[in-house]
Amino acid sequence: MPDAKDLPARFRVSPSARVTLAEIDPDDVHGWDRDDAEQLTVELMERMSDAQDRLWAEAKHALLVVLQGIDAAGKDGTIRKVMTAFNPQGCVVSSFKVPTPQELAHDYLWRVHQRVPAKGEIGIFNRSHYEDVLVVRVHELVPESVWSKRYDQIRDFERLLTDTGTSIVKLFLYISRDEQRERFQERYDNPRKRWKFSLGDLEERKLWDDYLRAYEDALEKTSTDDAPWYVVPANHNWFRNLVVASILAEVLDNLKPSYPPEPDLPKDLVIE
């Protein structure tokens, strides 16, 4: 079994590093065997669960997990398979879809800030504020003079969060174009999954190269020491789960959450 300790560092994007996604193989499992990976993922999820319990009890820090990826990259599956390690009492999943009229009446970060986890909580963003430098850019919903300023604004926003006790982990689930085609076909062919498929997905697929360029710029311009990006090879769900679990287990361990001091109670208390 390969050493799992180096997995987070292997996929972390260094600040200001240029990422060329064409040079990354989303099919690469880096020497891992599926059975070993799935066994270790279970162990990592147990660590995540234990750490979350202490994080919740301590109530001094929060963790924000940002999930991004092109359509069918596996954001929902990652939440379903890995994030089940967390007690839903202290974990909130937020999905960001097309902005509502009320949201459009405010700045683009307004709706995001409201869903940032409170101290003691873990927040998971299924898509996020990054849509405003991805979809907005690719579809030219605002001019470049507007969206190009948002990289600095996002870094400042995330610095505010980290300075006030929220750790941030940003995961880009990276699949190949062929893998997306297979997943779309599976959605269409499976009556239980067809509800997730729309012809609009095929129109978005035509913009594949534009989206990858937008992601490359976002990764380069917004991966920081305090709020890093990780590029997760995601063609194989089992390897994706291993990488995500290893990253989250490490981040939670580094927070070193601990239970509060025991209250001053009488010795040998018998409750009747």
Q: What is the pLDDT of residues 32-46, one digit of tens each?
A: 999 999 999 999 999
Q: Where are the domains of the chain?
A: 4-254
pLDDT tens digits for range 50-86: 999 999 999 999 999 999 999 999 999 999 999 999 9
The full DSSP string for the chain is ---GGGHHHHHBPPTTPPP-GGGS-TT--TT--HHHHHHHHHHHHHHHHHHHHHHHHH-S-EEEEEEEESTTSSHHHHHHHTGGGS-GGGEEEEE--SPPHHHHTS-TTHHHHTTSPPTT-EEEEES-GGGGGTHHHHTTSS-HHHHTTHHHHHHHHHHHHHHTTEEEEEEEEE--HHHHHHHHHHHHH-TTTGGG--HHHHHHHTTHHHHHHHHHHHHHHH--SSS-EEEEE-SSHHHHHHHHHHHHHHHHHHH---PPPPP---TT----
The architecture that CATH gives domain 4-254 is 3-Layer(aba) Sandwich (3.40)
* Residue range 252-271: mean pLDDT, rounded: 89
pLDDT tens digits for range 149-163: 999 999 999 999 999
